[in-house]
Chain A
């Protein structure tokens, strides 16, 4: 898909995010906004999938796991906008009986979600499991994941990283949202990740880096990542982003990780984000 068209969609996705979080008076806008460009690119240009006919078993289709489940608003928006479920349903986010739970779940059968997430650190293990099943089934489709950088403080991530490299699970493409912030502050202050690229390399992964707000750069990097599939190493992309990207007062701070805008703040945010596809 044309890059400018993708930017247009991601602007609408950002509107959806702030409106959903404001509408629910809760949620996590910061990381959602930061991953809007990546998630738009993934769902509209990269994934091999059939949004209109969601199949839990994903036969011959790519699978995506959102391991940092708290940025559910961006996922729900791209799922709806790409055709998994009706866009107006976004208005039910975090409301009683909604299929759009605060953190993604499967129990209400929302199309597009294959695994609950929210308790951090579990998605990479799930991805490796699905990737192994695809290999057993002779299914060439890929498994993608997205993780927060703060999430990498969870030990299970590194159990999975070790397993993936040792067993050459080379049909997984993991992406890290490297925004440097988590709920309590900057990642460096809370618990530094050290040299993240070297860590993943030392764990035996093929490491790539990209700018999470430059769609052309992400297109090139994801194509490169796909070219590494089948070469004996799992692939991780360290994606630099700005938490809160697109809404000026949410950027440059960790304070909008888990806070919702009030009506005035929502208005300011929406004035900065063009309505391209029509609000729900």
Chain B
């Protein structure tokens, strides 16, 4: 991508490493933080926490259901358990355990999920969960957070320790641009307006936020002023940020590395439809499983790359006019 974006790339790193660093740091600050992992310590970047706090780290083996139940039980007595495994095994595999022992019981468990979405890459569709945001946001009491880069994932990992209640924190495997400042404000439930614009609102989460920034640059060259919102908290949704932006732009594109059914875009649409019905286009995976490939290849093949956001923005603008 040669287009100059509104944001400086500060480096490139995987968001899971942001989780690993955040976990270590919050572990030092908060003695009640404990961590559980289901045989993916290296993949989740939890080794540093394990080395520093062996007595507060629990290797549970390949037994995710037990891990979720244990995490719920550990809250009795004041611990703040962080569970770590792939997003697929953090949600779909253990949905009932989360539903009953964590969400319904309203336990202070932090479900930390790596390798979410297509960008897990070569492992293929068995591991590329694209339904997890929907599964988790449907659970009462559950807060759902999808940070956009290494720095924000680190911030979010630390912030959820101070937030009482069940949290689903979703991040990923590939190395992606870092563009959020390490000391930027991060408030759960408060979206970041990254680029201000007047023609179209692009609301994205996770890896697609950087793609949205790239898309905004391309759109600017075409004379289209795009506002880019990083909706890092899917639930509770920052309704005011959405309404304020669409009041100005009059149309919206949602962009996510997730199934269109049940994802961020659907949450945005609920807000739009009830408050200020304006055209919306979705960028997301359209009711299909993924497959093996490199992360970049997959984003292209499944139509969730930068050009898809550009195209969706142009289409929604036409519908507006």
Chain A residues near B (Cβ < 8 Å) = 56-59, 63, 65, 105-107, 114-119, 121-134, 136-137, 139, 155-156, 159-160, 162-163, 166-167
Contact = CB atoms under 8 A, between A and B. Distances in A.
20 contacts: A59-B77, A106-B105, A107-B104, A115-B105, A116-B100, A116-B105, A117-B100, A124-B69, A125-B97, A126-B69, A126-B70, A128-B66, A129-B74, A129-B75, A132-B73, A133-B34, A134-B77, A136-B56, A159-B66, A166-B61
Nearest to A139: B77
The 7 closest A-B pairs by CB, nearest first: A125-B69, A129-B73, A126-B73, A129-B70, A159-B66, A133-B77, A159-B63
B41 to A, nearest CB: 16
B87 to A, nearest CB: 20
B60 interface: yes
B162 interface: no
B304 interface: no
Contact of A115 (B34, B60, B66, B101): B101
Contact of A136 (B66, B79, B101): B79
B277 to A, nearest CB: 35
A160 B78 CA distance: 21
Main secondary structure of the interface of B (DSSP, over half): helix
Contacts of A163: 60-61, 63, 66, 70
Most buried by B among A105, A122, A123: A122
B122 interface: no
Given A57-B78, A116-B105, A156-B65, A128 B70 contact: yes
Nearest to B103: A116
B192 to A, nearest CB: 33
B76 interface: yes
Contacts of A65: 73
B69 A63 contact: no
A127 B101 CA distance: 11
